[in-house]
Amino acid sequence: MFFGGYSGQAYSPAGDKGRFVLPPLFRKAVKESSEGRTLCLVKHDRWNCLTGFGLSRKNELDAQLDREEELAAQKGADFDRDMRAFQLFGFLEVPFDDSGRFVMPDHLKSLAQIEDGLYFQGAGRFFTIWAPQQLQAMGPEWESAKAACSNLVAEAEAKGRKK
């Protein structure tokens, strides 16, 4: 099956029992990538967010590690292969149900300062998952994502008030 990558934006407010919902757009792509209902989650190595992807990305990580080591060598830069492997392969495999509900591990919520909801931003081979307040603290190059996040949060809050 062809996997087309992750694109788009979505927001998921915190649900009951500490669960979140993987939005349909991302759920479909993760299912295609994982050939099932397994979401891989890890703290992003530079930004205060999480990275999500399906199991098929595991196959790419060794090649990514080799490329990064080669680029560092070409630049004469230090490269700690063990530390980078630790970062790349330190993800958790989190199951989700048919509706996309999953339990966010507490340590990941803490690392990304997640409280009331998740903003999802597609990034091709992976997607990022943000606590909205953490995304809003990013620089001006994040203007488009910040605007999308603010709009999606406002829509979710308005929908919540109607209930």
Overall domain count for the chain: 1
- Interatomic CA distance for residues 36 and 50, integer angstroms: 21
The CATH number of residue 111's host domain is 3.40.1550.20
163: confidence class by pLDDT, cuts 50, 70, 90: low
Task: Please name the residues in contact with 67: beta carbons below 8 A apart, sequence gap of 6 or more.
Answer: none
| 72 belongs to a structural domain | no
Read off the pLDDT of residues 95-135 as tens digits, 9 standing for 90 and up: 999 999 999 999 999 999 998 899 999 998 899 999 999 99
Task: Please name the residues in contact with 73: beta carbons below 8 A apart, sequence gap of 6 or more.
Answer: 79
| 51 belongs to a structural domain | yes
| 113 belongs to a structural domain | yes
Mean per-residue pLDDT over the chain, rounded: 91
| 77 belongs to a structural domain | no
Query: Tell me, what's the pLDDT at 15?
Result: 84
| 61 belongs to a structural domain | no
| 50 belongs to a structural domain | yes
Read off the pLDDT of residues 5-49 as tens digits, 9 standing for 90 and up: 899 999 999 887 778 999 998 999 999 888 889 999 999 989 999
| 23 belongs to a structural domain | yes
| 84 belongs to a structural domain | no
Mean pLDDT across 134-138: 97
Full 3-state SS string of 59-94 = HHHHHHHHHHHHHHHHHCCCCCHHHHHHHHHCCEEE
Q: Specify the pTM.
A: 0.88
65: confidence class by pLDDT, cuts 50, 70, 90: very high
Comparing 163 with 45, the larger pLDDT belongs to 45
The boundaries of the domain holding residue 52 are 9-56+93-162
Q: How many CB atoms lie within 10 A of CB 84?
A: 17
Query: Tell me, what's the pLDDT at 145?
Result: 96
